Amino acid sequence: MWPVASGCLSTHTVVLEVNTPMKIRAYTQQDKEDVISLWDECGLVVPQNNPAKDIERKLKVDPELFLVGLRENAVVATVMGGYEGHRGWINYLAVKPAQQRKGYGQAIMQAVEALLIKKGCPKINLQVRKTNESVIAFYAAIGYSNDNVVGLGKRLEHE
Ligand SMILES: CC(C)(COP(=O)(O)OP(=O)(O)OC[C@H]1O[C@@H](n2cnc3c(N)ncnc32)[C@H](O)[C@@H]1OP(=O)(O)O)[C@@H](O)C(=O)NCCC(=O)NCCS
């Protein structure tokens, strides 16, 4: 695992210097096609979600919490953070399959956590399907525990 170095936070260029070959910065519109194809490759594009619409909505609310990780200028990781004044939220965490188990998932999570801490966020919540055991193992490895709550949802817009 790559250790985290002290880093400079900025919302525009590299947001967190981590001791890894992956650079992390905020999403820009030029990343759109690469990001959607990464999500597709990682199985995150599902019929009930429209990824392009999800990106457009995110760009209207705390866009600086939507991060991409780059290796040699190619998008290899994403995370979409959120904060509503009480809890931080994580969505669209993805690392390109060929680049998994190199510490990039942990690195991009550390970057978004640093930005959430900077906003005063005291706790992060996230939802993972119970059947997604490898992702649950990933989150456990980076310090997330089961809150033993039932996740409820109500769709307000049908994509
Ligand atoms: C979850 C995901 C982002 C992890 O990214 P990653 O870069 O491979 O993770 P890391 O290399 O930072 O892993 C850190 C630690 O988490 C644990 N971990 C990661 N993947 C794991 C797996 N498949 N099974 C068990 N433990 C795992 C390990 O302890 C790992 O440390 P190690 O490699 O030294 O053993 C990646 O598997 C992914 O993109 N999955 C598909 C998309 C997805 O399902 N996203 C979540 C939606 S809720």
For residue 4, what are the CA distances in angstroms to 41, 48, 157? 27, 36, 39
Parallel, antiparallel or unpaired: strands 88-95 and 23-26: unpaired
Mean pLDDT of the chain: 91
pTM of this structure: 0.92
* Cβ atoms of 20 and 103 closer than 8 Å: yes
Report the separation in Å between the CA atom of 83 and the middle of ligand 1, taken as the mean of its atom positions: 23
Q: How far apart are CA 138 and CA 149, in angstroms?
A: 19
Q: Six-digit token pair at 53? A: 């619409």
Which residues approach ligand 1 with their CB closer than 6 A? 1, 42, 44, 93-95, 100-106, 128, 132, 134-135, 137-138, 141
Q: Does 117 score more than 70 pLDDT?
A: yes
Report the separation in Å between the CA atom of 156 and the middle of ligand 1, taken as the mean of its atom positions: 31
For residue 5, what are the CA distances in angstroms to 12, 47, 93, 98, 115? 19, 39, 21, 25, 15
Task: Read off the pLDDT of residues 75-108 as tens digits, 9 standing for 90 and up.
Answer: 999 999 999 999 999 999 999 999 999 999 999 9
Q: Is 24 exposed, middle or buried (0-12, 13-18, 19+ CB in 10 A)?
A: buried
Per-residue pLDDT, 17: 60
Question: How many separate domains does the chain show?
Answer: 1
Report the separation in Å between the CA atom of 135 and the middle of ligand 1, taken as the mean of its atom positions: 6
The reply to whether 18 falls in a domain is no
Geometric angle at alpha carbon 50, from 25 and 107, rounded to 5°: 25
The reply to whether 99 falls in a domain is yes
Per-residue pLDDT, 16: 61
Give the nearest ligand 1 atom to 139 CA: 16
Q: How far apart are CA 23 and CA 14, in angstroms?
A: 6
Ligand 1 pocket check: which of 101, 112, 128 to mutate, most ligand atoms within 8 Å of Cβ? 101
The reply to whether 150 falls in a domain is no
* Cβ atoms of 51 and 39 closer than 8 Å: yes
- Residue nearest (by alpha carbon) to ligand 1 atom 35: 101
Report the separation in Å between the CA atom of 100 and the middle of ligand 1, taken as the mean of its atom positions: 7
Per-residue pLDDT, 18: 62
Q: How far apart are CA 132 and CA 103, in angstroms?
A: 19
- Residue nearest (by alpha carbon) to ligand 1 atom 22: 134
Task: Read off the pLDDT of residues 26-35 as tens digits, 9 standing for 90 and up.
Answer: 999 999 999 9
The reply to whether 117 falls in a domain is yes
Domain that holds residue 57: 23-141
Find the CATH number of the domain harbouring 61.
3.40.630.30
Q: Does 5 score more than 60 pLDDT?
A: no
Task: Read off the pLDDT of residues 34-59 as tens digits, 9 standing for 90 and up.
Answer: 999 999 999 999 988 899 999 999 99
The reply to whether 114 falls in a domain is yes
Report the separation in Å between the CA atom of 125 and the middle of ligand 1, taken as the mean of its atom positions: 18
